[in-house]
Amino acid sequence: MMEVEKPWMESRSEYLIEENMTFQVDTFLYCEDYGLRWENGIIIKKDGVEPLSRKLNKIIELEG
């Protein structure tokens, strides 16, 4: 799957979520002065979720 591709998971979604499914969590915030995009794959576990990567689990500021 690619970014911004269906299906989207929203608060009103009625998808059945099962253990071992994977999802791409993609969050984008934007204002006049800056923008922020955060993505990470997760796998559904019995007790919650597990990130597929912790490598870039920090804020990276780009100046342009």
Domain with 28, as residue range(s), is: 22-51
Residue 56 lies in a domain: no
8 A C-beta contact, residue 25 and residue 3:
no
| Other residues' Cβ atoms within 10 Å of the Cβ of residue 30 | 9
- 13-17 CB contacts, 8 Å cutoff, 24+ apart: 17/44
Residue 57 lies in a domain: no
Residue 13 lies in a domain: no
The 10s digit of each residue's pLDDT in 11-63 is: 888 888 899 998 888 777 888 887 877 788 899 999 999 998 877 667 777 77
**Which residue type is seen at 60?**
I
Residue 32 lies in a domain: yes
Residue 42 lies in a domain: yes
pTM exceeds cut of 0.85: no
Q: Which residue has the tokens 């993505």?
A: 39
The total number of structural domains that make up the chain: 1
